[in-house]
């Protein structure tokens, strides 16, 4: 084998390893249901939470306090890096849906 052929083979094997690692990471992320902040799904969940609170006719300012607490908590969680900042809102919307289904 010529030295250039060895280099090409080594480069191919490295790229294959990188692809396998990328695919395994991607599948892991899909499995935990991670969505990037600001994505369509996150914005829809946030909007659904806002509408759910609006329907309950909470006293003025309650949502602002909740949003402020959520933003502060999200800031703390974003430093951790492993927790989805919007997970609490998404879970809250799901719980409300379950309550409506039971009625």
Q: What is the pTM of this model?
A: 0.27
Asked whether residue 2 carries a pLDDT value surpassing 60, the answer given is: yes
Of 47, 38, 81, nearest to 67 (Cα)?
Answer: 47
- Supply the pLDDT for residue 22: 83
67's enclosing H/E stretch is helix 62-80
For residue range 46-93, list pLDDT tens digits in order.
Answer: 888 888 777 765 555 555 555 555 555 555 444 545 556 667 777 788
Task: With beta carbons less than 8 A apart as the criterion, state whether 85 and 37 touch.
Answer: yes
| Distances 46 to 24, 31, 39 between C-alpha atoms, Å | 29, 22, 11
Asked whether residue 34 carries a pLDDT value surpassing 70, the answer given is: no
- Supply the pLDDT for residue 33: 64
């Amino acid at each position: 084998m010529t030295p250039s052929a060895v280099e090409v083979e080594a480069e191919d094997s490295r790229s294959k390893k990188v692809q396998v690692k990328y695919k395994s990471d991607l599948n892991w992320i899909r499995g935990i249901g991670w969505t990037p902040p600001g994505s369509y799904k996150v914005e829809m969940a946030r909007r659904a939470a806002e509408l759910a609170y609006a329907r309950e006719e909470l006293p003025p300012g309650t949502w602002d306090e909740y949003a402020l607490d959520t933003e502060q908590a999200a800031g703390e969680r974003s430093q951790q890096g492993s927790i989805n900042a919007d997970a609490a809102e998404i879970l809250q919307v799901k719980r409300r849906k379950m309550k409506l289904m039971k009625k």
